[in-house]
A and B are shown apart, each in its own frame.
Chain A
Amino acid sequence: MKENRRDFIIKSTALAALSVAGLSGCSESRSKENEKRAGLKSVGATSQVEWPVTFGEGMPKLCVLADRDASLAEMRKLKQLGVDYVLVNGPKMPWTEKGLREIMDRFKPEGLTVINMMIGGFPNTVYGREGRDEEIKLLQDSIRAAGVAGLPVIEYNFYAHRLMEGYYEVKARGGAGTTAFDYERGKDAPHDPALGTPQTAESLWNNLTYLVKAIIPVAEKAGVRMAMHPNDPPIPVSHGHAQILATFNDWKRLLAIVDSPANGMTYDCGVVRELGEDPIEVLRYMGARDRINHMHYRNVTVEKPYVKYQEVFFDEGQVNLFAVMQEVFQQGYQFGLYPEHPRELDYDREHTGGTVMQPGGIKYPGGGGYAAQAYNVAYAKAMMQAVVSANGTGAKV
């Protein structure tokens, strides 16, 4: 264990050096522009915006996860939460313009716009195996199709393996479920031969670099932004495989591979805190470089960064979600903001079909459903309206 971690630290620390030069280019004008656009200044006690507050250009877009084949009833179920945007798991590659339009157009009549589709299914690329060029070709074609279809963001991730064994439920207030994580529970988990050769950080970085260099120019040309979700749980090793997107330095290194807003990330304020980093600092770093292409909004209480933490209710925990929301507007961030990981409430335990599945159909221990999601989305929306109102920026489109 110790060795693994040290290994992990050595690499990430040393690599920070590489990112310094690569990123400074685009930031100055960007942050000034953002300040101008957001026009942020305090204007007294009463808000000067028209109610109900809506969110226009240059503002985050509150969204929730939908099934891409959602029925009309399911779409309305989400619409009731007060969102105008959804993210969906994309179809199997290769995506086609027609296929994407069919998905996106189905949501339109219900007042929902697909702002992000997740793409997956490129294991050979992750493992650097034979067949990766074919996968990358599929990815490139899919990104082009997204550009033509008008899908602004594609989210992806890069794990050789994800350590689900570390998650367990901790009962919190009133018996509600929270999702705790302890690396100790899974750090010695054996390697699974079915998943291929254990990946070192070095090999994964090589593979990731190969991928990013191949797809970002395509995305840039297609007018599509790529959002890399960080490794979560952000641990050094899972079943013998290194995790290379699990520190702030890792993220900086990813962003430096190709200097383009198309090469962005999912900013997850929960994961940031799991690393023991400051959510505002990381948000400013990425925002100033225009690299936040999707966002996850949630809270967490960390006992030991990278190792032991608990995903808690939005209204508790160590992330100042209001400060994050203020900064998000300050940055002029304008893509999806997804309040995620609802806690498990009795209402959802008692009502079938209540569970909100995460991408890939994962049900986290202590993770909840629609009732808890209603609470989270309303909380996030209130904060968005509060920021707009306090700033008096006039939110009408």
Chain B
Amino acid sequence: MKDNRRDFIKKSASLAAALSVGGVTTAFSQTQAANKAPASAKAFARDGGMKFAFAMSPDSPRVPYAKQIDVMHAVSGVKRIEGLKPWDPEAIKATKEAWEKEGMKWTVVEGPPSLGEQTKLALSGRDEEISNFITFMKNLKQYGGVDVICYNWMPVISWARTTMDRPGRGGALVTSFDNEDIKNKPLTKYGEVSKDAMWKNLEYFLKAVVPEAEKIGMNLSLHPDDPQVHSIQGISRIMNSVENFDRMLKIMPSKYSGLTMCQGNFSLMGADIPALIRRWGKAGKINFVHFRNVQDLSGKIPSTKFTETFHDEGQIDMYASMKAYYDIGFKGTIRPDHVPTMYGEENTRPGYMTLGTLYAIGYMRGLAESIAKAGAKA
């Protein structure tokens, strides 16, 4: 009713103007002035103030796609340069320059060099590995301007899936994991590695590294085990429950010892993702986000099986998750993870193909914009 009356008044007014002498052009320009494009919303933060990123190297064919959809941050390793170690200043400088040349900002190293089996399994050479890791941290901060390192505690068998081409929505290919398929696989050459040993090794690493990270302001961000089962081929996994993450955070309590909020894995541990984001976010522990969704769980905790999905169709409340990041004021790097392989794509890098990544960025941006605009209005 109200709308009608307003319309009526408006019409009468413009009509009156039109009927007056020489009023036609006047009416037109008045209408134009009244309908000028609105100023952008107050205090609206694009992408909710977060740094949207792709995981890629600076010479990736995906760099132009990222720029075209306005994803200007990169999660990248160090350029491989003959004769240089990845922790050498020259290699790090070259990587930084390569990103700058693209007009993009390198913000995170995921899967850092010199953090391998020696350290995670306490083999000989561990101290040298840790020493090089510390050198890497320092040089990465000083010469690369990067202050987040995403690492994991999964020696030998890292990221693992049992199916790389399960048909998902519309026949898109997704990865999945079922512990049943691998539970009878033989031990690795390292035999049985206990949870206690894994904890001891992690503690040794954190005690050596966290004080150095504090000195330089490097945010260490431990990624949950993926898959987050109790062990694979005899090698135990310990970063597979929320409680264990809380325990890890207490080993060397520091502003610079935090975690990567990989939504998929924490969800498979039975966590309420938005609530967890708020809890760890308020404690300042979230340095980096893998925005991801999953479905088809086993019902056990941690889940012994799952299937990756498109971001819009899994079990995690993606709206509440994005809102939680926004509300805690998360300003760090966030990237889509494990996207389906879509129509026309060869499944050469399951989980990391282009179309699904573009879809995921559109989805993340739509959510972030909705939340930031709703917030800006209130």
Contacts and interface: CB of A to CB of B under 8 A. Distances in A.
A17 interface: yes
A77 B312 contact: no
Given A45-B327, A46-B320, A315-B70, A76 B343 contact: yes
Interface string B43-70: 0001000000000000000001111111
A360 B363 CA distance: 29
B231 interface: no
A379 B361 CA distance: 8
B370 A9 contact: no
Contacts of A278: 35, 38
Contacts of A80: 169-172, 310, 340, 342-343
A67 B5 CA distance: 43
B166 interface: no
A385 B343 contact: no
Given A76-B171, A82-B169, A315-B369, A375 B358 contact: yes
Interface in A122-167: none
A390 interface: yes
Contacts, number: 224
B373 A323 contact: yes
Interface string A223-256: 0000000000000000000000000000000000
A76 B170 contact: yes
Contact of B370 (A14, A77, A176, A390): A390
B32 interface: yes
A386 interface: yes
A220 interface: no
B253 interface: no
B361 A375 contact: yes
B24 A6 contact: yes
A51 B313 CA distance: 8
Interface stretch (A91-99, A189-197, A208-216, A343-351): A343-351
Interface string B355-366: 110111111111
Given A16-B14, A382-B363, A45 B323 contact: yes
B317 A378 contact: no
A47 B320 contact: yes
Interface string A353-381: 10000000000000000111011111111
A314 B192 CA distance: 53
B244 interface: no
A10 B309 CA distance: 55
B184 interface: no
Nearest to A317: B37
A199 interface: no
A257 interface: no
B319 A9 contact: no
A169 interface: no
Nearest to A390: B374
B274 to A, nearest CB: 6
Contacts of A382: 312, 318, 362-367, 370
Contact of B362 (A77, A173, A377): A377
B365 A24 contact: no
B366 A371 contact: no
A213 to B, nearest CB: 23
Contact of A10 (B7, B11, B18, B316): B18
A353 B312 contact: no
A318 B37 CA distance: 6
Contact of A381 (B37, B312, B340): B312
A331 to B, nearest CB: 11
B239 interface: no
Given A16-B15, A82-B313, A175-B68, 7 more contacts: A10-B24, A52-B315, A174-B69, A288-B3, A343-B68, A378-B363, A389-B317
Interface of A: 6, 9-10, 13-14, 16-17, 19-20, 23-24, 27-28, 31, 45-47, 51-53, 73, 75-82, 110, 173-176, 273, 275-278, 284-285, 288, 301-302, 305, 313-315, 318, 320-323, 325, 343, 345-347, 351, 353, 370-372, 374-383, 385-387, 389-390
28 contacts: A10-B18, A17-B15, A23-B4, A27-B1, A27-B3, A45-B323, A51-B314, A52-B313, A75-B170, A78-B170, A82-B169, A82-B313, A174-B66, A176-B68, A273-B37, A276-B32, A276-B35, A285-B7, A288-B3, A320-B38, A346-B68, A347-B65, A353-B344, A374-B362, A378-B366, A382-B363, A386-B371, A389-B317
